[in-house]
Chains A and B, each alone.
Chain A
Amino acid sequence: MAILNNRLTAEQYEQNFSDIHPPFDSRDAALVEANRCLFCYDAPCTKSCPTSINIPRFIKQITTDNIKGSAYTILDANIMGAGCSKVCPVEKLCEGSCVYNFLDEPPIPIAKLQRYSTEKAIEHKWPLFQRKPSTGRKVAVVGAGPAGLSCAHALSREGVDVTIYEKENQGGGLMTYGIAAYKVTPECCKDEVSFITSLGGIDIKYKQALGQDVSLAELQNNYDAVYLGVGVGLARQLNIPGEELAGVEDAIQFIYDIREKGYPSVPVGDKVAVIGLGMTAIDAATQAKRLGAKDVTIVYRRTQAEMPSTEVELNLAKLDGCNLIWLASPKEIKGENGRVSQLICHVMELSVPDTSGRRAPVETGETITLNVDMVIKAAGQVPYEELVSTHQLANWNGKVAIDSRCATNIPGVFAGGDCVNGGKEVVDAVQAGKDGAKAILEFIMSEIGPPMRSE
């Protein structure tokens, strides 16, 4: 048993990480699906989209070959509409509420149609948005992820100059660094960020981490307002013996390495255990398998009924040949010569429902032992608690507290996205960015006074 990189040939890597949701082959194929859309009134799909994209409208626009109009409809509501078309769990959002589900017919492939329009917009660099004349106001945004970019774009459209401070050397946040590579390629993320910033008025400063390279006080001094969209990033620790052994890795780092270093450079074991069953766990498990791990087992302490992942995601893992162990919770990681050799788990059972109806997993006293050489932890992410508390930001266990107008306890400092909610979908972060921009514009108008004209 060994943890190795370069397990596959270049062709195998390419095949394993190719797009799992390929686009339509042709205009006609897209038209057939677009024409199935009933053009619902007060459409459930739109209501189920956190960014409220007018889905019937953009699909209608596809049917008339008005692709530019269609792309505008999408991106006006969700500037990351291209990425979201690839990573959104549509089965529980728009497509999940498509009225065709009542007819036991396949729902409209909304994501695929959304991709059809937005990919063209990005490929052809359509200048769909124009900035209003500069107001002379400046806002700093921390984090070039979905929330930050969305906020920056919305502000810039209104004539506010935005500077984004990003700790990585690329924008996109979770899209670029935290999602399986077979869903969205690094090039897509890069193109999407370029498309967003092509509006003008948005300057991204890379390798600028808050609290290290730039301070909040500095931003407060130099800008009319600050928006924090720092996300979450720290993997939850298991706090069990053996966690320090070589071969124990956190899923976020693992996925980050796949995105940053290239597939052949990322080592995986022969027998890999993945702890947890959220989206990140699935992305880690499937990618470990696609990197050449012989045996991947997902260990989850509850049952399928409680899993945070969607069934579509779970099926991805199953189809990739990952094993699943339900009702098992890590107890201890054992090693030989400082390297992982075994994962010992408590066998769990679900307790009787508490007052909220929730059934907590409890230990049965039995254990099972898995022979593994690699353990990937995907048991949830925790906010940057230290970063938040050292900046005197009111928070809930590290999650930044905001009021109904996206404002933190520090005047002129706003926040949104994963750093506030603890981690939700990309599309939720985009909406948070829009909300933040709206609040900041109101703040600039009322607290600082009407915008100054730069002329």
Chain B
Amino acid sequence: MADLSANFLGIKSPNPFWLASAPPTDKQYNVLRAFEAGWGGVVWKTLGSQVKNVSSRYSAIDYGGTKMMGFNNIELISDRPLAINLREIAECVRLFPDRAMIVSLMADNSRAKWHELIAQVEDTGAHGLELNFGCPHGMTERGMGAAVGQDPEIAKMVVEWVMEKATIPVITKLTPNVHSVVPTGRATVEGGTHALSLINTIQSVTGVDLDTLVPNPYVAGKSVYGGYCGPAVKPIALKMLTTIAQDPITSRVPISGIGGVSTWKDAVEFLLLGASNVQVCTAVMKHGFRIVEDMCDGMNNWMDEKGFKTLDDFIGKSVPTITHWEDLDINYHIVAKINQDKCIHCGLCYIACEDTSHQAINLSYGNPYNTYSIKEDECVGCNLCKLVCPVDSCITMVEQRKGDEYVNWKEFQRRGLPLNDH
């Protein structure tokens, strides 16, 4: 049995799965249910000045028969009275002392307001604070949320205000609505934040209702840009996470990974690319809190198989394998191979290669089944056929190096090697 326990800035939790600041962490009832289900921690939905929400608030992208591949919301920070939130937070901490309780904050834009809010929250016994510099809708118009996260100087200033007052660990949550998360990440690390978390939601329009002609979500004939999340955003989140994990300044602090985490596999990927734990929201909004069971179990089994005893054994392990394009080995070459015994003759590899790639697949007509085979000389090893093939390990890529030594693009140019080699 691997040890799944996590220690984030001294905040301990029995596993690395926290619920992100969002509707599921908006009240005691949900949070207690989450803790009973086994969640390691929660980030309480953002507290700040009183707001009012609209309906509807959510919309989703369904793809290929799968619901909620992408999800979008226009909810604001918690719309419940601050006093009730504070009382419930304290109660949850009392009932589940072994779980992490982080509180997300978004005070009005003044040092005094931040200080006041931090003091109130610390009184609850919460273990940490998360600064919401990411909310992309509603709050930005008032100069908060993503408006802060998009300006490194302002972000740094707010972090500095917070650090003057906070006595418990501070995590700064970054917005992805920037060309790079690194500048704000650096600024807040320099401002003193103890940790970073990312990503918040991405501004989006999920689609337009083709009957009403109004985009989703629909609010009395109008809509607004919403924050995009769910499985669809995972690749973007992983990329942003990696840039933070690679940067010499931002990598000094631990990172909490967020963005489309739905399974233990997603979580492992986030940890391999530098996160110390993960936060989950959309997946529980789709399936409820019970998904944590398989998340823990699956991660545990994987760690056992790989021989990892603790999370620290693999956190960040994949970060060094992401390099620059010009450092890739050009002599590495692979060609596709179709296993005729496994082939079901769907022709997907053929048509993808024929129409869109390198015309490297032969078609031999049959009735009703055609036969497909690779023209090795034409195959550039792009991998497309393997990706479209619906059968497990029917198409494999076989290594056929062009040369023994490692040659990258810079070296290739330096030596003046011919361009049409392969």
Q: Which residues of A contact B (CB under 8 A)?
A: 31-32, 34-36, 38-45, 47-48, 63, 97, 99-100, 102-103
Choose from B64, B346, B365, B391 the contact partner of A40 (Cβ within 8 Å).
B346
The residue in chain A whose Cβ has the minimal distance to the Cβ of B388 is A38
Chain A nearest CB, measured from B346 CB (Å): 4
**B350 A99 Cβ-Cβ under 8 A:** no
Q: Name the A residues within 8 Å of B29 (CB-CB).
A: none
The residue in chain B whose Cβ has the minimal distance to the Cβ of A99 is B344
**B65 A35 Cβ-Cβ under 8 A:** yes
Q: Name the A residues within 8 Å of B344 (CB-CB).
A: 99-100, 102-103
**B351 A41 Cβ-Cβ under 8 A:** yes
Interface-lining segment among B31-39, B216-224, B270-278, B367-375 = B367-375
**A42 B347 Cβ-Cβ under 8 A:** yes
New contact pairs (16) apart from A38-B348, A40-B345, A42-B370, CB-CB < 8 Å: A36-B65, A38-B390, A40-B346, A40-B347, A41-B347, A41-B350, A42-B347, A45-B368, A63-B64, A63-B65, A97-B368, A97-B369, A99-B345, A100-B344, A102-B345, A103-B391
**A47 B347 Cβ-Cβ under 8 A:** no
Mark interface residues in B43-73 (1 if CB within 8 Å of A CB, else 0).
0000000000000000000001100000000
The residue in chain B whose Cβ has the minimal distance to the Cβ of A46 is B368
Choose from A32, A34, A36, A44 the contact partner of B345 (Cβ within 8 Å).
A44
Choose from B65, B346, B351 the contact partner of A31 (Cβ within 8 Å).
B65
Q: Name the B residues within 8 Å of A102 (CB-CB).
A: 344-345
**A47 B367 Cβ-Cβ under 8 A:** yes
**A44 B368 Cβ-Cβ under 8 A:** yes
From B346, B348, B351, B367, residue with most partner A Cβ within 10 Å? B346
User: B-side binding surface: helix, strand, loop or mixed?
Assistant: loop
Q: Name the A residues within 8 Å of B346 (CB-CB).
A: 38, 40-41, 99
Task: State how many residues of chain B have any CB contact under 8 Å with chain A.
Answer: 17
Q: Name the B residues within 8 Å of A38 (CB-CB).
A: 346, 348, 390
- Give A63 to B390 CA distance when docked, in angstroms: 18
The residue in chain A whose Cβ has the minimal distance to the Cβ of B370 is A42
What total count of A-B pairs have CB within 8 Å? 43
Q: Which 10 A-B pairs have the closest CB atoms?
A: A41-B347, A35-B65, A44-B368, A41-B351, A47-B368, A102-B344, A99-B344, A40-B346, A97-B368, A99-B346
Chain B nearest CB, measured from A406 CB (Å): 23
From B64, B348, B368, B369, residue with most partner A Cβ within 10 Å? B368
Chain B nearest CB, measured from A35 CB (Å): 3
The residue in chain A whose Cβ has the minimal distance to the Cβ of B390 is A38
Q: Name the B residues within 8 Å of A42 (CB-CB).
A: 347, 363, 365, 370
- Give A388 to B61 CA distance when docked, in angstroms: 62
Chain B nearest CB, measured from A24 CB (Å): 13
Q: Name the A residues within 8 Å of B370 (CB-CB).
A: 42
The residue in chain A whose Cβ has the minimal distance to the Cβ of B391 is A103
30 contacts between A and B (CB under 8 A): A31-B65, A32-B65, A34-B65, A35-B64, A35-B65, A36-B65, A38-B348, A38-B390, A40-B345, A40-B346, A41-B346, A41-B348, A41-B351, A42-B347, A42-B363, A42-B365, A43-B347, A44-B368, A44-B369, A45-B368, A47-B367, A48-B368, A63-B65, A97-B369, A99-B344, A99-B346, A100-B344, A102-B344, A102-B345, A103-B391
Q: Name the A residues within 8 Å of B64 (CB-CB).
A: 35, 63
- Give A40 to B370 CA distance when docked, in angstroms: 11
Chain A nearest CB, measured from B229 CB (Å): 23
Mark interface residues in B384-396 (1 if CB within 8 Å of A CB, else 0).
0000001100000
The residue in chain A whose Cβ has the minimal distance to the Cβ of B352 is A41
The residue in chain A whose Cβ has the minimal distance to the Cβ of B64 is A35
Q: Name the B residues within 8 Å of A32 (CB-CB).
A: 65
- Give A402 to B350 CA distance when docked, in angstroms: 40
Q: Name the B residues within 8 Å of A31 (CB-CB).
A: 65
The residue in chain B whose Cβ has the minimal distance to the Cβ of A65 is B210
Task: List B136-154 residues whose CB lies under 8 Å from chain A.
Answer: none
**A40 B348 Cβ-Cβ under 8 A:** yes
- Give A63 to B66 CA distance when docked, in angstroms: 12
- Give A126 to B65 CA distance when docked, in angstroms: 26
Q: Name the A residues within 8 Å of B351 (CB-CB).
A: 41
Q: Name the A residues within 8 Å of B347 (CB-CB).
A: 40-43
Q: Name the B residues within 8 Å of A47 (CB-CB).
A: 367-368
Q: Name the B residues within 8 Å of A103 (CB-CB).
A: 344, 391
- Give A340 to B64 CA distance when docked, in angstroms: 60
Q: Name the A residues within 8 Å of B65 (CB-CB).
A: 31-32, 34-36, 63
Chain B nearest CB, measured from A291 CB (Å): 39
Q: Name the B residues within 8 Å of A45 (CB-CB).
A: 368
Mark interface residues in B336-358 (1 if CB within 8 Å of A CB, else 0).
00000000111110110000000
- Are A39 and B348 also in contact (CB < 8 A) when A31-B65, A32-B65, A47-B368 are? yes
- Give A171 to B365 CA distance when docked, in angstroms: 40
Chain B nearest CB, measured from A96 CB (Å): 9
Mark interface residues in B116-144 (1 if CB within 8 Å of A CB, else 0).
00000000000000000000000000000
